[in-house]
Amino acid sequence: MLDQGRIVAEGTPAELKRLVPGGHIRLTFGDLTALGRAAVVLDPEARDDESLTLEVAGDDGVRSLKGVLDCLERAPIDVSDLSVQTGHVLGSLIQTMAAVLLVAAVALLIGFRPAGSPAGWLGALGVLTLIAFSVTWLSVAMGINAKSVETASNQPTFLLLMPFLGSGFVPTDSMPEVLRWFADVQPFTPFIETVRGLLMGTPVEAGTMLATIIWCAVMSVGGYVWALWLYNRKSVRA
């Protein structure tokens, strides 16, 4: 799967180098023999014999992904089980959670005093992690679907607007009927209510918590399946 030059994909070098411009990559091999042969030709930054992986830094020069795949094609390696992966989703998740923690720290410094228990705080952090993971996968699929860099950055914009059309600022009961209906059925309203309740120590309805989990699961699985389908379709066309 391709997202702005970073990939989460499986396939042979010949298939991947037609689609992927480059990036920091992790190569996973089927056995130690293939791992050892690849290590000789690639001179990796890190090697893990237990997980059968090599870490190779890519850039716009000789260490580009296409260059790495060319080396593997020339090496005596059976590439049928070779998968090329990056930590784009994981990296984005870590960046998002770091930003969340920074915002929380600033909020505490300027006087925000949540009434939730430590368990509630941990629960809120877990829910935020699920939300970030699901939104990231959805964004990855949109990035693959995009025709250009500009559209790739613009397609997820509607996700930024969703909290404003939920219960983040005003109760949904105070909204006009049509807007209230949309706010009640869209995913960010249960997201907001769940996190707010856990942080502030107020009761969180079981239905709201269940809706949060279901929405996160649907968005994560849907984003992953969509991204995989788009990648396979582009591979066939290539």
The two structure tokens encoding residue 139: 């964004």
Picking from 70-74, 82-86, 112-116, 221-225, which range would have the lowest pLDDT averaged per residue?
82-86
pLDDT of residue 106: 96
Instruction: Answer whether residue 24 shows pLDDT above 60.
Output: no
Query: pLDDT class for 30, splitting at 50, 70, 90?
Result: low
Handedness of CA 28, 30, 31, 33 (dihedral sign): negative
Query: Could you identify the residue written with the tokens 């296409």?
Result: 66
- Average pLDDT, integer, range 51-58: 72
Q: At CA 200, angle to CA 194 and CA 205, rounded to 5?
A: 35
Instruction: Answer whether residue 3 shows pLDDT above 60.
Output: no
Query: Could you identify the residue written with the tokens 């939300």?
Result: 131
- The DSSP letter of residue 76 is S
Picking from 13-17, 42-46, 87-91, 101-105, which range would have the lowest pLDDT averaged per residue?
13-17
Q: In what order do the strands lie in the sheet with 83-85?
A: 2-3, 6-10, 83-85, 25-28, 53-56, 46-48
- Average pLDDT, integer, range 134-152: 83
* Most confident stretch, 26-35, 37-46, 53-62, 178-187: 178-187
Instruction: Answer whether residue 137 shows pLDDT above 70.
Output: yes
Instruction: Answer whether residue 226 shows pLDDT above 60.
Output: yes
Which pTM value belongs to this model?
0.64
- Cα separation, 171 vs 167, whole angstroms: 5
The two structure tokens encoding residue 15: 């298939």
Instruction: Answer whether residue 165 shows pLDDT above 50.
Output: yes
Instruction: Answer whether residue 64 shows pLDDT above 90.
Output: no
pLDDT of residue 15: 53
Tally DSSP H helices, then E strands, for the chain.
Answer: 10, 6
- Average pLDDT, integer, range 202-229: 92
pLDDT of residue 18: 47
Cβ count near 154 (within 10 Å): 12
